Amino acid sequence: MTAVQAKPKRRARGTRAQRDARAGLALVSPTVIVVVVMVVLPVLWALLLSFQRIRLIQIRRMDILGSEYTLRNYDLLFGSSDFLAAIRVTLMYSVLGTFGAIALGLIAALLVRRPFKGRAAVRGVMLLPYVAPVVAIAFIWRVLLSPQLGFVNAVGTDVLGWDSPIPFLSQERGEITLFGLSFGVPTALLMVIFFESWKSFPFAFLFILARLQAVPGELEEAAKMDGATPTQVFRHILLPQLAGVIALIAVLRFIFTFNAFDEIYLLTGGGAGTEVLATQVYSFLTARNDVGASAAVAMFMAAVLAVLLLVYLKFFAERDRPA
Amino acid sequence: MRRRWNRYAIEVAALRVLRPLGIAFFVLITVFPFYYMVLLSVRDISEIIESPGSIIVGLGELSTDAYERVLKPTSEGGEGFLRFLLNSLLLAAGTVVVTLLVSILGAYAVSRLEFFGRRAVHFLFLSVYLFPAILLAIPLFVAFSKMGLRGELWVLVIVYVAQTLPICVYMLRNYFETVPVSLEEAAEVDGATRMQIIRKITLPLAIPAIAATGLFVFMIAWNEFLFALLFLVEERPNWTVSLGVSQLTNIETPATTLMAGSVILTVPIIVLFLFAERLMTEGLTRGAEKG
C-alpha cells in the first residue's frame, strides 16, 4: 500500500473564495458580453434614436450618437390617430389572446389530467400548434379561412347556409345576427385573437398540467369523501392551487402577445383593423424609412411593459410574503 | 346516497360523456389544420377550387407537382427551397453550437460559483424578454446596415445567440443544480482544475439537459421569422425556409405550392419534437411544480 499524498497542482493563487469569484466571472463573461452588446447597448441606442429625426437613407453617414435631439417623434405619435388606434388594438389583442390561450390550456389540462389509453400521444399532439413554425401555421389558417378555396367558407356556405363566403382576414367589420338582433363585430381582429389563442394554448396547457400533477392527492380525496362534486373540487381545491401558475402564465403570455409581430404581419399584414404597435414599428422602419418614429413606438411599447411588470411585481411580492 | 340523481351523480355522469368529447375536440382542432396542409400540398389546384370542402384525396389523384416546383432551383423555374433548407440548417446548427458553448459556461458559473454580480445576471436576462424583438430589431438593423453586413447569415447567428442565451442559461442552471456538488469536490481533491471538472464530471452528467436545450434552440432558430425578414429579404440566396415560404404569397403562387413549402418548413421541426418531446417539455417546466 502506498499512501502517496499528491500535492494538488494549483496555478491560481489566493483563497478558495477569490479563486471561485475569478472563475465565475471568467465563465459568465461570454454570456454577459453577448447580451450587453446585442441587447443592452442596442436598446440604449434605440432610446437615442427615438429622440432624433432620422431616415434610413441618412444612416450611412450619420453619427452613432446623432446630433440633434428632439421630442418631435413622440409629439407626432401622440397626435396621430393611427398610433392611438394601434394602442387600443394591441391591448385588446394581448388581453383577449392571453385569456383565450389560458382558458383553452386550462380546459385541455383538466381533460387529460387522469391517465387514459393514448394519453401520451394526445398530449404530444396538443403541443403541435406551439412548436410548429409560425410562418407555416399562419399560412395554413390563411388558406383555411380564404373566401375562394378555404375549407371554413366551403363548410359555411354549403352546410351552414351562409349567403356568401366571409373574408375573415380582410373584413374590418362584419355583422352577426343572433336571435333577431344584429350587431357589428371586428371580424379580422377576432380572427387574429382566435389564432393567437389556438397557437399559444399549448404553452398554458403544459405548465398547468405540470402543476396539476403536483397537487397532493389527499386533498382531493378528502374533499370527495366529504361529498364534494367535481365542479366543487375544481373550484375549491384545484383552482386555488393553480392560481399562482396561472398568474405567472398570464404575465408571460401578455408580454409575448403584446410584443408579437409575426402572427399579425403574416395573417393580415396589419390591415383590416388589426394594426398593432409591433407591425406599426415595422412599417415605420421599412415602408416609411422613418427610423426615429419607429424607435419611438418601440420605446413606448417597452415603457408600457415595464410599468405593467413593476405593478405586477409589487402586487405579487406583497401577496406572497406571508406564505 | 340518498337520492339517485343528486348533483354529484349528475356531474359525474356529465363528465363521463364530456371528457372524451372534449379530448376529441382538442385533438381535432390541433391535428386538422396540419392534415389540411398536407392534403392541399398533394392535391391538384383546380380540384381544390372546384371542391374546397372535400377533405379526402384518392390515391390516384396524388400529385407531387407542388413539391417539385418548390424544391427546384430558380434557374429551372422553381422556388429554390433546397438552398433555403441548407441555409436554415446552417443557421440553426451554428446557433445551437455557439449558444451551447457560451451558455454551458455561464450556467455553470451561475449555479456553482459565488462571484460579484451573480444576482445581477438575472436582471440582465429579464431584459431580453421584456424588450420586444421589434425594438431590438431597429438598432441592430440600422447598425448592421451601416456596417454593410446586414445580409450575412453569420450576423443572424449572433442575433439568434443573443435571443436564446438567457433561456438556455436558465434551463442548464436548473439542471446543474441537481448534479451533486460532492462529485466535483472529490475531483477537486484529486487535483483537477475547474475546466477539467466541467469537461470530465459536469458535462457527461448533463448530456440529457444539454441535448434538450440544444433541440430547443434549434427549433427557435429554425422557426424565427422577424429578423430573417428584416435582415435577409433583399438577399435571396441567403433566405431561410421560413422567409422563403413567407415570400410565396404573390398572386400567381397557387395554394398548393404554399402548402408544400409549409410542409417542408414544418416536417423537420415536428419530427425533432416527436422524437424528443419528453426531454424538452421536462426541461422547460422543471420548477413549475413548485408553483
Please check whether residue A6 lies inside any domain of the structure: no
The radius of gyration computed from the CA coordinates of chain B, to the nearest angstrom, equals 25
Q: Domain for residue A116, yes or no?
A: yes
Of A3 and A246, the structure prediction assigns the larger pLDDT to A246
Q: Which residues in chain B are closer than 8 Å to A261, comparing Cβ atoms?
A: 132-134, 226
Residue B233 lies in a domain: yes
Q: Is residue B195 part of a domain?
A: yes
Query: pLDDT value at position B2?
Result: 52
Whether B164 shows a pLDDT value over 70: the answer reads yes
Closest-approach residue (CA) in chain B for A25: B115
Domain of B15, in residue numbers:
7-63
B242 touches A: beta carbon within 8 Å: yes
- pLDDT bucket at B61, cuts 50 / 70 / 90: confident
A136 in any annotated domain: no
Q: Which of residues 36-55 of A touch B (CB under 8 A)?
A: 36-40, 42-43, 45-46, 49
Helices (H), chain A: 16-35, 41-49, 72-78, 81-111, 119-126, 128-131, 134-144, 151-158, 187-213, 217-225, 230-233, 239-259, 262-267, 277-286, 291-320
For chain B, the average pLDDT equals: 85
Q: What pLDDT is stored for residue B34 in this prediction?
A: 94
User: Which stretch of A14-28, A40-54, B206-220 has the lowest confidence by average pLDDT?
Assistant: A14-28
Output the pLDDT for position B4.
61
Tell me the mean pLDDT in the region B276-281. 72
Q: Which of A292-301, A309-318, B280-289 has the lowest mean pLDDT?
A: B280-289
End-to-end CA distance of chain B: 37
pLDDT above 90: percentage of residues in chain B: 33
- Run of H or E including A37: none
In a domain, A152, yes or no: no
pLDDT band, residue A281 (cuts 50/70/90)? very high
Predicted confidence at residue A120, as pLDDT, reads 86
Q: How many domains does chain A have?
A: 1
Confidence of residue A265 (pLDDT cuts 50, 70, 90): very high
**Mean pLDDT on B22-38:** 94
Query: Predicted confidence band at A224 (pLDDT cuts at 50, 70, 90)?
Result: confident
Q: A-contacting residues of B 18-77, CB under 8 Å?
A: 19, 22-23, 26-27, 29-31, 33-34, 36-37, 40, 48-49, 51-53, 55
pLDDT of residue B151: 87
Percent of chain A with pLDDT over 70: 91
C-alpha–C-alpha distance, residues A197 and A91, integer Å:
15
Give how many domains chain B has, as a whole number: 2
- A6 → closest Cβ in B29, B133, B191: B191
pLDDT of residue A322: 42
Q: Assign residue A108 the CATH number of its domain.
A: 1.10.3720.10
A38 interaction partners in chain B (CB closer than 8 Å): 136, 140, 158-159, 161-162
User: Are B85 and B158 contained in the same domain?
Assistant: yes
pLDDT category, B285, cuts 50, 70, 90?
A: low
**CA angle at residue B208 from A199 to B289, to 5 degrees?**
55
This complex has an ipTM of 0.88
State chain A's mean pLDDT as an integer.
Answer: 85
Question: Are B132 and B218 in the same domain?
Answer: yes
Distance CA B104, CA B203 (A): 9
pLDDT band at A2 (very low <50, low <70, confident <90, very high): very low
Q: Which chain B residues in 73-132 lie under 8 Å from chain A, judged by CB atoms?
A: 101-103, 105-106, 108-110, 112-118, 121, 124-125, 127-132
Tell me what pLDDT residue B181 has. Answer: 80
Which pLDDT does position A319 carry in this prediction? Answer: 54
Q: Give the model's confidence band at A318: pLDDT under 50 very low, under 70 low, under 90 confident, else very high.
A: low
Report the Cα B76 to chain-centroid distance in Å: 32
CATH number at residue B219: 1.10.3720.10
Nearest CA in chain A to B103: A31
Residue-wise pLDDT for B191-249, tens only, equals: 888 788 888 888 888 888 888 889 989 999 999 999 999 999 888 899 999 999 999 87
Residue B283 has what pLDDT? 61
The pLDDT value recorded for residue A93 is 96
pLDDT over 60 at A11, yes or no: no
For residue B284, pLDDT over 70 is answered with no
Q: Which of B184, B212, B194 is nearest to B275 (CA)?
A: B212
Q: Are A204 and A101 in contact (CB under 8 A)?
A: yes
Look at residue B1 and tell me if it is in a domain.
no
Q: Which of A131-145, B77-91, B193-207 comes out lowest in average pLDDT?
A: B193-207
Give the up-direction half-sphere exposure of residue A195: CA atoms within 13 A in the CB hemisphere: 30
In a domain, A247, yes or no: yes
B288 touches chain A (CB under 8 A): yes
CA distances from A88 to A83, A91, A102, A113, B130 (A): 9, 5, 21, 37, 20
What residue numbers bound the domain in which A225 lies?
Answer: 81-131+196-320
pLDDT at B290: 45
Do residue B142 and residue B23 come from a single domain? no
Give me the pLDDT at residue A15, please: 80
Residues B18 and B122 in one domain: no
